Amino acid sequence: MERYERRYLQVDAEFLPDGKVLPKTLYWESEDGTVLPFSIDRILDIERAACLKAGGFGLRYRCLIRGRRRELFLQENNRWFVAVKLPGDR
């Protein structure tokens, strides 16, 4: 069985006058400590949802990043996270 955990990220976001928060860039820290920026190409959907893989709840942003679909979550405490597979799981 695959296991996941939440990885919290730094995210640059745009705050719109109507109250929407739109993520623009996320920063991924690699194993060697290098921080890599990834621009969010497009937001496909925003809804309140639970992260079924790693737990947690908040706004789920379904995004396109480098042509691939990804889910990015914004918790009530203004922390951003993604679900990542734990090493050794298939």
Segment 27-58, tens digit of pLDDT: 999 989 999 999 999 999 999 999 999 999 99
How crowded is residue 8: how many other Cβ atoms within 10 Å of its Cβ? 11
Determine contact, residues 72/7, Cβ cutoff 8 Å.
no
Report residue 21: phi and psi, to 5°. Answer: -115, 125
Q: What is the mean pLDDT of residues 66-84?
A: 97
Considering only CA atoms, give the Rg of the chain.
13
